[in-house]
Amino acid sequence: MSFASPSPSPVPKADAVPDPRRWWGLVVIALAQLMVVLDATIVNIALPSAQQELHMSDSNRQWVITAYTLAFGGLLLLGGRIADLVGRKRTFVIGLIGFAGASALGGAAHTSGLLFSARALQGAFGAVLAPSALSLLTTTFTDLKERSKAFGIYGAIAGGGAAIGLIVGGLLTEYLNWRWCLYVNVPIALVALTGAVWLLHDHRPARAERPRLDLPGVALGCGGLVAVVYGCSEAQPRGWNDALVLGLLCGGVALLAVFAWWQTRAPSPLLPLHIVRNRNRGGAFLTMALAVVGMFGMFLFMTYYLQVVLGYSPLKTGLAFLPMTAAIVFASTQVSARLMNHLPPRLLMVPGTILAACGLFTLRFLTVEPAYPSHVLPAEILLGFGMGLIFMPVMDVATSGVAVGDSGVTSATVNTAQQVGGSIGTALLNTIATSTGATFIAARLRAAAATGTGPDPAVRDHVVKEGIVHGFGIAITWGAGIMLLAGLVAWTLITARAPKHAAAAPESGDHASYDPHRMRAV
């Protein structure tokens, strides 16, 4: 077989000869995905240095992060559908070139406005690149064993890439400067681009086979996603009761509701609703969205805990996440990849959510005193192992049994669930942590003032750190509960059988896209 399906048929021919270079093609796909995932966190550690050099105000510095997440989260569905219309390899290459150019522009930025614009461009091209990468993977590896290995690698990158970003960001910021957190994408993109041109192959639909782009759907869907992601980002500094935040969230939900209505009537829908209505895929999307809430919250809180409370350097903070990355990689490639063909996917997802929830709950007992070996390390290992069990089967269930012509938008929906879940979860948990921490600090300072020790700077500093840790603990407990909710969703909605035991009959609503090698609903 060629690197992707050689014909418009959703199911490659059984006697097709596998491309001997397909595993090198996987390396190219993995490099591109790693670059996109890295950029979600690599800039976080560099942000203080960039703020100082470019003279950003405290109120504007968040746009270094927000500009990227808005463009990426808002344009994913459009990027996925474009990949289906014009060919995944072509959009993959365009995404790589654009992402590299935007990264170079951001690294050379001499004003904050130019940096914000470059980050928005990164997000826009990332929204084209990410669904193209996942859809190339799903249309290439259809053999059960090969698909398991490929998804194991991809799941490890999806779960561990954010932690790797913190490590790389710490190294580059400490030993070079913050600009290299953006420049580093250029050589990675060039390597991936060279490999893509040489190794990747994809069926490009003929002009007569391409449906029209659903422009009203683009406006409604992308507009709704942008409003929801922006509302969540503004909820952190403004609060959930702010008029702008409420207006953005309500407006975004309203636009998405109209989008869903329009998709039932559009002649060429941006997101064919049978993709979401399928019980297993819908459950996988929801499980993904809920699971990343706790994970992204853990990244945020642990970064502050290690640097602000324990006084770690940026590099030491990044390295502190290394055990979690290792646990994700091991669980994805050595456990999930080996068991996925023999067990129903929910028998991997549910134990994964329980392990991850236990890891998060361990952080409920953090103290101001150094607690890395006793609390942080066990929590990272449990959370990493659990997420490694979750990511791979979720992505496999979400993308299996889909027609080649819909693989791009389906892959985009997986990424959208992850992005929106992370945005909402980070904002929600940060609000809980901030409010409970502030209440704790105010109460303790009043008590200290009553005893005559309030003005002491050392006492005040200790109380503030206690309040930060207390707020983190409460928020992380909520994160653990949401992780368990993800497990409940997986157990209730995802009823797919193990691929080796799937019956040779199409899923309801997906007759045109059935792949007999994949799993079906019980």
Residues 209-218, mean pLDDT to the nearest whole number: 77
Mean pLDDT of 505-522: 39
Q: Give the pLDDT confidence of 25-41 residue by residue, as tens digits.
A: 788 888 888 888 777 77
SS3 6: coil
For residue 500, is pLDDT > 90?
no
The rounded distance, in Å, linking the Cα atoms of 137 and 128 is 15
Report yes or no: 460 and 445 within 8 Å, Cβ to Cβ: yes
Higher pLDDT, 358 or 199: 358
Determine which helix (DSSP H) or strand (DSSP E) holds 358, and give its type and residue range: helix 346-362
> What global pTM score does this model have?
0.77
Q: How confident is the model at residue 104 (pLDDT cuts 50, 70, 90)?
A: very high
* CA distance readout (Å), 212 to 46, 77, 146, 209, 513: 42, 15, 34, 10, 20
- Confidence at residue 121, expressed as pLDDT on a 0 to 100 scale: 93
- Lowest mean per-residue pLDDT among 24-38, 184-198, 201-215: 201-215
* Contact (Cβ atoms closer than 8 angstroms) between residue 449 and residue 289: no
Region 208-234: mean pLDDT is 81
- Mapped onto helix, strand or coil, the DSSP state of residue 521 is strand
User: If you write DSSP's letter for every residue of 259-321 in order, what string do you get?
Assistant: HHHHHTT-SS-SS-HHHHHSHHHHHHHHHHHHHHHHHHHHHHHHHHIIIIIS---HHHHHHHT
pLDDT at 381: 93
Residue reference for tokens 């808005």: 70
What is the model's pLDDT at position 383? 92
pLDDT at 15 over 60: no
Buried b / exposed e over 489-514, threshold 16 CB at 10 Å, is bbbebbbbebbeebeeeebeebeebb
Give yes or no for residue 44 having a pLDDT over 80. Answer: no
Task: Say which residue, 465 or 449, is predicted with more confidence.
Answer: 465
CA pseudo-torsion sign 195, 87, 152, 317? positive
Please report the pLDDT score of residue 519 as a whole number.
43
How far separated are the first and last CA of the chain, in Å rounded? Answer: 30
Say what the pLDDT of residue 190 is.
92
> How confident is residue 79, by pLDDT bands cut at 50, 70 and 90?
confident
* Count of Cβ atoms closer than 10 Å to residue 194 Cβ: 12
Nearest 5°: phi and psi at 510? -130, 35
- The per-residue pLDDT for 347 is 92
- Mean pLDDT, to the nearest integer, of 452-478? 80
User: 116-130, 358-372, 373-387, 442-456: which range is least confident on average?
Assistant: 442-456
Residue 496 in 3-state DSSP? Answer: strand
pLDDT for 19 equals: 61
Ramachandran bin of 55, using left for φ above 0, alpha for ψ from -120 to 50, beta for the remaining angles? left
Q: How far is CA 509 from CA 271, 272, 275, 299, 501, in A?
A: 15, 11, 9, 39, 21
| pLDDT tens figures, 371-393 | 788 888 999 999 989 988 998 88
- Please compute the mean of the pLDDT values over residues 425-448 and round it to a whole number: 81
Tokens 């002009």 identify what position? 207
Quick check: 255 pLDDT over 90? yes
Residues with Cβ < 8 Å from 316, sequence gap 6 or more?
A: 170, 306
Is 18's pLDDT higher than 70?
A: no
- Does residue 352 register a pLDDT over 80? yes
Q: What is the mean pLDDT of the chain?
A: 79
Q: Give me the residues paired with residue 496 across strands.
A: 521
The mean pLDDT of 421-427, rounded to a whole number, is 77
- How large a percentage of the chain has pLDDT more than 90? 17
Other Cβ atoms closer than 10 A to 374: 14
517 pLDDT higher than 60: no
pLDDT for residue 109 is more than 70: yes
pLDDT on residue 114: 93
pLDDT reported for residue 263 = 87
**The pair of three-digit structure tokens given for residue 135, joined into one six-digit string:** 């859809």
